């Protein structure tokens, strides 16, 4: 049993590329100019300005024509319980039904001490003192013993804590990523998903900056804030 602290790992795996090699912004421009029948205005470098204007005008349905695939690893199942609520996403997650989690890794909140002792009582009333790490170690032992007695992983997993480490891959369009990053990166978002979204925003800004130019990272919290366009 291992204890990890956030942030988890974030890696962008893929971004939409057109069949003729068009970059993601070019795909958006090709689709968006259908509305205006202004294909004659397409030229080298025009896609970036087109997408910037689309976002400024709030016409974000157009940026749904390009998508991004992201892998989150060394995050807790508490993290994934939140992110899978975004229903416009394609999701593939590490399975606790088929994957043996013996010797699992658990994610603890930042600043929390795994050696902190807590007073507990056994069912017969006997008082005991356990550290947080010892509690998880007992949890792991229970899981392993159930497997040894013939329980399949899909049944033994019922005793696993929500803090166990997992991996998840998510694909969705840029409009939905903007929504996820803005919501889950806000100052009042859960610490684990907020830190992961900050890392994702840094990577996304390097690859497709115009899509996320109106988001900034406040390092004092840290969190993500959306910059409001001037009137």
User: Is 184 considered catalytic here?
Assistant: yes
**133 contact partners, CB below 8 Å, separation of at least 6:** 1, 3, 114, 115
Q: Which of 33, 157, 184, 194 is catalytic?
A: 184
Residues 74, 4: contact at Cβ < 8 Å? yes
Residues 184, 83: contact at Cβ < 8 Å? yes
How far is Cα 76 from Cα 4, in angstroms, rounded to an integer? 10
Please report how the helices 46-56 and 24-36 are oriented relative to each other, as an axis angle in degrees rounded to 10. Answer: 70
Q: How far is CA 195 from CA 73, 75, 177, 185, 224, in A?
A: 13, 11, 15, 7, 9
Closest CA to 160 of 201, 203, 107: 107
Q: Which residue has the tokens 């976002």?
A: 55
Residues identified as active-site: 184
């Amino acid at each position: 049993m291992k204890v990890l602290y956030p942030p988890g790992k974030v890696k962008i795996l893929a971004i939409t590329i057109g069949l003729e090699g068009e970059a993601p912004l070019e795909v958006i421009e090709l689709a968006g100019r259908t509305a205006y029948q202004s294909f004659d205005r397409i030229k080298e470098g025009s896609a970036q300005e087109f997408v910037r204007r689309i976002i400024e005008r709030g016409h974000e349905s157009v940026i749904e024509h390009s998508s991004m695939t992201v892998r989150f690893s060394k995050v807790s199942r508490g993290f994934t319980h939140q992110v899978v609520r975004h229903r416009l996403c394609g999701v593939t997650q590490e399975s606790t039904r088929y994957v043996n989690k013996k010797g699992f890794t658990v994610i603890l909140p930042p600043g929390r001490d795994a050696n902190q002792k807590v007073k507990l009582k056994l069912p017969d009333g006997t008082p005991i003192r356990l550290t947080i790490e010892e509690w998880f170690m007992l949890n792991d032992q229970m899981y392993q013993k159930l497997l040894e007695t013939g329980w399949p992983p899909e049944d033994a997993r019922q005793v696993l804590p929500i803090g166990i480490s997992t991996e998840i891959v998510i694909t969705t369009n840029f409009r939905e990523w903007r929504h996820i990053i803005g919501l889950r990166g806000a100052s009042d978002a859960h610490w684990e998903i907020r830190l992961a979204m900050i890392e994702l925003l840094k990577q996304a800004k390097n690859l497709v900056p115009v899509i996320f130019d109106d988001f900034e990272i406040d390092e004092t919290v840290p969190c993500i804030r959306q910059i409001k366009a001037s009137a």
